[in-house]
Chains A and B, each alone.
Chain A
Amino acid sequence: MVVPVTYYLALSIALFTLGVIGVIIRRNAIVIFMSIEMMLNSVNLAFIGFADYFKAVDGQMFVFFVLTVAAAEVAVGLALIVAIYRNRGSIYVDDLNILKW
């Protein structure tokens, strides 16, 4: 059975939207981080869907790039969050507003 590309894209859009909403409304830095990962993976899904649809491997190749970057980003991002927690005792972004007027 062949799954139509529309399904992939619909799921991808749904996940991406959820990610965006998560980034904007959640306050916990780790949850925001997870939402970002979700957005990345929704894009991966769109890549896979198009790769299957066009019968081209380029999309699958890009997924690996994205995964690599995401892994690196997780390492750095989590390290930053740990550092912030050590400094300020909180990882709620509401508390991290000193860079303003």
Chain B
Amino acid sequence: MMDYVWLIPTFPLIGFLINGLLGKKLPKHVVGIIGSLAVGLSFLLTVSIFMEFLKLPHGTAVQKVVFTWISAGNFTAQAAFLIDPLSLIMLLVVSGVSTLIHIYSIGYMHDDPGFPRYFAFLNLFVFNMLLLVSADNFLLMFVGWEGVGLCSYLLIGFWYEKQSASDAGKKAFVVNRIGDFGFLLGMFIIFWTFGTLNFKDVFAAASHYPVGAGIITAATLCLFLGATGKSAQIPLYTWLPDAMEGPTPVSALIHAATMVTAGVYMVARCSPLFVLAPVSLTVVAVVGLLTAFFAATMGMAQYDIKRVLAYSTVSQLGYMFLACGVGAFVSGIFHLMTHAFFKALLFLGSGSVIHGMHGEQDMRGMGNLRKYMPITYWTFMLATLAIAGIFPFAGFFSKDEILFFSLVDGHVLYWGIATVAAGITAFYMFRAVFMTFYGEERFDHHKIHPHEAPMTMAVPLMILAGLSVVGGLVGFPIIEGAHKFKEFLAPSIAPLHHEAHHAMSFEIFMMLFSMGVAGVGIFIAYKCYMKVPDLPARITAKFPALYEYIYNKYFIDELYDAAVVEPIKNGSDFLWHGVDETVIDGTVNGSATTVGWLSSHLRKLETGFVQNYALAILAGVVIVAGYLIGR
């Protein structure tokens, strides 16, 4: 079966080609079935390869070369796939969640005129994403990396006739390019240092370097810049909230479950490099921590249900980087997996709400929807419990592990801030639940008739809800920092520190403590949005400056606009009007104008009178003769 690993990304590519070329001629349900089937087949193939892989001895990594892609001098790049625990986990998550979201999209996008285009792009995205996670060298990974960026752009701007959507697509693309530049630089440094881009060879060569080697620190920092772009971390996170302009299943697939986690995957994949660069690890941890905290606070004051989830995604990605930064790469991947389940579910749930509310996204215009859409309500609730970190839902295991490792790594400050952020997460998620599904009905009954999602949408919700509940159990038992998931992933990940052994009672106390923090967050949300509805207004009235600050997302977008976008715009404007139009066009057009002006006068010499010419000839003769005689 493993020889057919190349088929995993090929199925969605075929789906893309069929839907992209013939989609307009096919009936809608056929387009949807082709799109879903292409991804579903990838998932089934991944599962069967996974089963086969489990039978192999522990610690094997299989490399399958499909063909030699580039061969120049002593540089070769293979189009090759790497089958190891890390890539298999990613393949399973990506193809599995993608399949569910494809099925969901059939219902969600049913009335959209761009239906075939949508499925073509979605399939192209899955192709690139699967390529990204299964590539066995940096170059092929970069192909997927750029490909998902392109598809993200295409799908954010899917409703391109809407100005805000096409602007958001552009923003995402440009911000991602900044990160990609870092990735590219990192790749150059790696090739320059090690002479190869193959993961295995690079990591083997890197192991001869001392810890803290400058060149590896530089390479990893550049790679991490790439990760901050793709995974929406400070300072390049601003594109993700805007990316919510795309269709909701796209937000679920690309901007929650898969593409934005590519950065985490890349850092985990390069863990043998990162463990050699303590400086880079600190940068990763601090950036992740700050992102987790600030994005969480921004999520508190949003009213658009999708934007709440967007900031929540940024914040959760911050947790994953925090985990990587303290050396707990496995916990980062673990959280990546559980997050893929519950965040995809949250987005699909919000999509179901938006679908049922005829496009309403503002939570102030909702309320008491659990009466109208019970399936959506229950699944959304389960996902919220999961993200808040309540036992025994998926988020509890993964988030608790991250908090645990940040503490045992000796960073009390990391742990403290991350715990507070976890409390805030619980607060804003329950705020969203209470505002959407509880309270009074704040929508116009004459215009809006909320209804439950159709079966194609409800079934994926239920499956994801199941995964959100049990998905964390692969990390069970969490005690002693060892579990099945970790054992499975161990061969792919470089270990940083020795296994910490702490008293069991300490760990159980930690779990209870983090659950307590989440409980406090839930309680405050309950108090503010259920019991005393005017409490939020009173609080914001007390701290108007702080509220203003948070509501406007710390004015970061405005800051970037003023500090980066406007100077570039002005600079380009100067280059356009000042240099191009004045200097360059002036020179070219000026020479033409001068010649034209000269000839318009000189042509008067051509009188057409033959005697004038004769006179000129005579004058010439006289001058020449005079010269010859006179010299």
Task: List residues of chain A with CB under 8 Å of any chain B CB.
Answer: 20, 23-25, 32, 93-94, 96-101
Q: Tell me the residues in window 576-628 of chain B with beta carbons closer than 8 Å to chain A beta carbons.
A: 603-604, 606-611, 614-615, 618
B618 contacts A98, C-beta separation under 8 Å: no
Contact residue among B603, B609, B615, B618 (Cβ-Cβ distance under 8 Å from A97) = B609
**Contact of B606 with A101 in the complex, beta carbons under 8 Å:** yes
Would B610 and A101 count as touching, CB distance under 8 A? Answer: no
Determine the chain A residues whose CB is within 8 A of the CB of B604 once the complex forms: 101
Contact B618 A93 (CB under 8 A): no
Which single member of B606, B607, B608, B611 contacts A24 (CB below 8 Å)?
B611
The answer to whether B610 touches A96 (Cβ under 8 A) is yes
Min CB distance A22 to B, Å, is 11
- Give Cα A63–Cα B266 distance, bound, in whole angstroms: 102
Give the shortest distance, in Å, between B431 (CB) and chain A (any CB).
83
- Contact residue among B606, B611, B614, B615 (Cβ-Cβ distance under 8 Å from A100): B606
Asked if B603 and A93 make an inter-chain contact with CB atoms under 8 angstroms apart, the answer reads: no
- Chain A contacts of B603 at CB under 8 A? 101
User: Given that A101-B603, A101-B604 are contacting pairs, would A24 and B615 also be in contact in the complex, using a CB cutoff of 8 Å?
Assistant: yes
Instruction: Kindly list the 9 A-B residue pairs having the minimum CB-CB distance in the complex, ordered from nearest.
Output: A100-B608, A97-B608, A101-B603, A100-B606, A101-B606, A99-B608, A97-B609, A24-B615, A24-B611
Whole-angstrom distance between the alpha carbons of A93 and B607 in the complex? 12
List, sorted by A's number, 7 A–B pairs whose CB atoms are closer than 8 Å. Answer: A24-B614, A93-B610, A93-B611, A97-B607, A100-B606, A101-B606, A101-B608
Say which residue of B608, B611, B614, B615 sits within 8 Å of A98 (CB atoms): B608
Q: A23-B611, A97-B608, A97-B609 are in contact. List 4 more A-B contacts (CB 8 A).
A: A24-B618, A32-B611, A94-B609, A101-B604
Inside 8 A of B609's CB, which chain A residues have their CB?
A: 93-94, 97
The closest CB in chain B to the CB of A29 belongs to: B610
* Distance of A82 Cα from B603 Cα, bound (Å): 31
- In the complex, which residues of chain A have a beta carbon less than 8 angstroms from the beta carbon of B610? 93, 96
Determine the chain A residues whose CB is within 8 A of the CB of B608 once the complex forms. 96-101
Question: Which of chain A's residues has its CB closest to B604's CB?
Answer: A101
* A101 CB contacts on chain B under 8 angstroms: 603-604, 606, 608
Provide the bound-state CA to CA distance between A94 and B612, in Å.
Answer: 11
Chain B residues bordering chain A, tally (CB within 8 A): 11
Q: Given the complex of chains A and B, what is the CA–CA distance between A23 and B621 in angstroms?
A: 15
- Residues of A near B618 (CB, < 8 A) are 20, 24
Q: Least Cβ distance of B236 to chain A in Å?
A: 64
Which chain B positions have C-beta within 8 A of A100? Answer: 606-608
Given the complex of chains A and B, what is the CA–CA distance between A44 and B216 in angstroms?
A: 100
Q: How far is the CB of A36 from chain B (nearest CB, A)?
A: 10
Taking the nearest CB of chain A, how far is it from the CB of B608, in angstroms? 3
Contacts of A24 in B (CB 8 A): 611, 614-615, 618
Interchain CA distance A68-B603 in the complex, whole Å: 39
Closest beta carbon of chain B to A19's beta carbon, Å: 11
Identity of the chain B residue whose Cβ is nearest the Cβ of A94 in the assembled complex: B609
| Distance in Å: Cβ of B604 to nearest Cβ of chain A | 7
Residues of A within 8 A of B607 (CB): 97, 100
A32 to B611, CA, bound (A): 10
Whose C-beta in chain B lies nearest to the C-beta of A100? B608
A97 and B610 alpha carbons, distance in the complex (Å): 8
When the two chains form their complex, are residues A23 and B614 in contact, meaning their CB atoms are under 8 A apart? Answer: yes
Distance (whole angstroms) from the CB of A45 to the closest CB of chain B: 19
How far, in angstroms, from A23 to B614 measured CA to CA in the complex? 8
Question: Which residues of chain A are within 8 angstroms of B611 by Cβ–Cβ distance?
Answer: 23-25, 32, 93
Closest CB-CB distance, A80 to chain B, in whole Å? 12
Closest to A23 in B: B614
- How near does chain A come to B468, taking the closest CB pair, in angstroms? 86
Which residues from B are CB-within-8-Å of A25? Answer: 611
By beta carbon, the residue of chain B nearest A25 is B611
A25 to B608 Cα, complex, angstroms: 15
Docked complex Cα distance between A99 and B603 (Å) = 12
Q: Which B residues are in CB contact (< 8 Å) with A32?
A: 611
User: How far, in Å, is A13 (CB) from chain B's closest CB?
Assistant: 13
- Chain B 330-342, CB-CB to A under 8 Å as 1, else 0, gives 0000000000000
CB of B388 to closest CB in A, whole Å? 88
* B166 CB to nearest A CB, Å: 54
Question: How long is the Cα–Cα vector from A94 to B609 in the complex, in angstroms?
Answer: 6
A94 to B611, CA, bound (A): 9
A100 to B603, CA, bound (A): 9
Nearest chain A CB to B616 CB, angstrom units: 10
Least CB distance, B615 to chain A, in whole angstroms = 5
How far does the alpha carbon of A101 sit from the alpha carbon of B615 in the complex, in Å? Answer: 19
Distance in angstroms between the alpha carbons of A7 and B604 in the assembled complex: 43
* Cα-based distance from A23 to B612 in the complex (angstroms): 10
| Chain B window 128-166, contacts with chain A (Cβ cutoff 8 Å), 1 for yes, 0 for no | 000000000000000000000000000000000000000
Q: Inside 8 A of A23's CB, which chain B residues have their CB?
A: 611, 614
CB distance from B512 to the nearest CB of A (A): 100
A47 to B618, CA, bound (A): 22
With both chains docked as a complex, state the minimum distance between the C-beta of A88 and any C-beta of chain B, in angstroms.
Answer: 13
A75 → chain B, closest Cβ, in Å? 20
Q: How far is the CA of A86 from the CA of B439 in the complex (A)?
A: 107
Task: Name the residue of chain A whose CB is nearest to the CB of B621.
Answer: A20
Q: In the complex, what residues of B have CB within 8 A of residue A98's CB?
A: 608
What's the nearest-Cβ distance from chain A to residue B623, in Å? 15
Find the B residue at minimum CB distance from A32: B611
Nearest CB of B to A97, in Å: 3
Bound-state Cα–Cα, A9 to B460, Å = 118
A98 to B607, CA, bound (A): 9
- Give Cα A100 to B618, complex, Å: 20
Query: Within the complex, what minimum Cβ distance (angstroms) separates B511 from chain A?
Result: 97
How far, in angstroms, from A97 to B607 measured CA to CA in the complex? 7
Closest to B603 in A: A101
Shortest distance between the CB of A83 and any CB in chain B (Å): 16
Closest A residue, CB atoms, query B611: A24
CA distance A99 to B611 in the complex (A): 13
**How far apart sit A101 and B609, CA to CA, in the bound complex (Å)?**
11
Q: State the CA gap A96–B608 with chains docked (Å).
A: 8
Question: In angstroms, how far is the closest chain B Cβ from the Cβ of A99?
Answer: 5
Q: From A101, which residue of chain B is reached at the shortest CB distance?
A: B603
Closest CB of chain A to B156's CB: distance in Å? 61
Name which residue of chain B comes closest to A93, CB basis. Answer: B610
Docked Cα-Cα span, A32 to B615, in Å, equals: 13
* Residue in chain B with minimal CB distance to A27: B611
Q: How far is the CA of A75 from the CA of B603 in the complex (A)?
A: 34
